[in-house]
Chain A
Amino acid sequence: MKKIVNFIIATCLILTCFFVCGCGSSRNQVLAAEESQVKLRSMQSRLFDTTDKTKTLRTAMATLQDLGFVIDEADDVLGTVSATKLDRYAVRITVSVRPHGKTQMLVRANAQYNLKAIEDPEPYQQFFAAFAKAMFLTAHNVE
C-alpha cells in the first residue's frame, strides 16, 4: 500500500514539473521563440550612422564590460562579440555588427537570462541606450 502511495506521489511530482516547465519535448527548444521573428528582430536591432565595423565592435566590448560582462569571444571578420554576466544569475549576450547600406551599421543583440531567452524590449532598450552613449551616436530603430 505504501509503495502505491509513493508511486502516485512521484507521478504527481513529475507531472507538476512538466506543467510548470511548459509541456512538450525539450527538443522543441532548438527552433523555438516565443515572440514573432519580426518583432524580435526589431526590438533587438538598431542602426547607427557609421561604417567603421571595428570601432563599433570595440565600443560594443567596452559597453559590455561597463555593464559587468566578461567577454567570451569576438570575431572581427564575422562582426560578433559574445559575453557573459554572472551576478547570482547568468546573462549571456551576443552582439553582431554588419553593414547596412553604404552609410550605416546594423547592430543586433540577443540575450538569454539563465535558461530563458530575453524577449522583452526593455533590457534591449537599456543596452542600446548605453551603447549609443559610448558610440556618441544616435540609435535609429530598424524600419
Chain B
Amino acid sequence: MKKIYLCYFLSLPLTLTFSGCGGIPKDALSMNKATLEDRRLQTRIFDTLDEENILSASAGVLQDIGFNIDESETDLGLIVASKDRSATEAGQITLAIFAAALTDSNPRYDTKQKIRVSLVANRASEKTERTSVRVTFQRIVWDNYGQITRLEKLNDPEMYQGFFEKLSKSVFLEAHGI
C-alpha cells in the first residue's frame, strides 16, 4: 500500500517534467559569457576559399571517426552527421547494481547514446581569403529502460583539437585558431 502512495507522489513531478511545464531557462536563447569561449574552441580558420574542398574533406573525416552523414547543404556550407554507440561504463553499472541491492529496486544504468555533430564552413570575412569551419557536438544518452538520462553539448577541448588535427591533415592546410 505504501508503495502505491510512493509511486503516486513520484509520478507527479515526472508528469510535470514531461508535460513541459516550467518555462524555458532565461539564457537559453541569448549570448552569455561562455559564447565567445565556445566559439574559439569550436572554430578553426583555413587559408583557402575552396569551401567545397573543405566540406568534402570534413565529410571524409566524419566518416573516418564513424559518423553517418544525415544531411548536407553545400550551398550553405553545412554537414550534419550522427552515430549511435554504446554508453555503458563498467563503474556506473557496478554502482547501479549496488544501489539497486540497497533499495530493493532494479538497477538503472546508461546503455546507449546518439552523438550528433553539425559542421558549418563559411568565408571567414569579406576581406580575407580564408574559410572558417565551426563544428559542434552534442549527445543524448538512454538508460536500460529506454529513458533519456542525459541531454548535453560536448565541450571537451581535446575532442575539438583532435577533430581539427584530422581535418587539417586531410586538407593539407594548417588550421588557425580565432
Residues of A within 8 A of B (CB): 2, 5-6, 9, 12-13, 16-17, 20-22, 54, 57-58, 61-62, 65-76, 81, 83-91, 93, 111, 113-116, 118, 120, 123-124, 126-127, 129-130
**Chain A neighbourhood of B39, CB < 8 A:** 65-66
How many Cβ-Cβ contacts under 8 Å join chain A to chain B? Answer: 140
A139 to chain B, nearest CB (A): 14
B130 to chain A, nearest CB (A): 15
Q: In the complex, what distance in Å separates the CA atom of A118 from the CA atom of B28?
A: 11
SS of A interface (majority): mixed
Chain B interface, number of residues (Cβ within 8 angstroms): 47
Interface centre among A9, A13, A65, by most chain B C-beta atoms within 10 angstroms, is A65
Query: Is B44 part of the contact surface with A, judged by Cβ < 8 Å?
Result: no
B11→A72 contact, CB < 8 A:
no
B137→A70 contact, CB < 8 A:
yes
B56 to chain A, nearest CB (A): 17
Task: Indicate with 1 or 0, residue by residue over B67-87, a CB within 8 angstroms of chain A CB atoms.
Answer: 000110101111010000000
B67 to chain A, nearest CB (A): 12
A62→B80 contact, CB < 8 A:
no
A74→B73 contact, CB < 8 A:
yes
Closest to B34 in A: A68
SS of B interface (majority): mixed
- Residue of B5, B31, B118 near A130 (CB, 8 A) is B31
**Chain B neighbourhood of A87, CB < 8 A:** 25, 28, 151-153
Query: Is B45 part of the contact surface with A, judged by Cβ < 8 Å?
Result: no
- Residue of A9, A13, A61 near B120 (CB, 8 A) is A61
Q: In the complex, what distance in Å separates the CA atom of A39 from the CA atom of B83?
A: 40
Q: In the complex, what distance in Å separates the CA atom of A54 from the CA atom of B1?
A: 63
A24 to chain B, nearest CB (A): 13
**Chain B neighbourhood of A83, CB < 8 A:** 118
**Chain A neighbourhood of B90, CB < 8 A:** none
**Chain B neighbourhood of A9, CB < 8 A:** 4-5, 8
Q: In the complex, what distance in Å separates the CA atom of A61 from the CA atom of B138?
A: 16
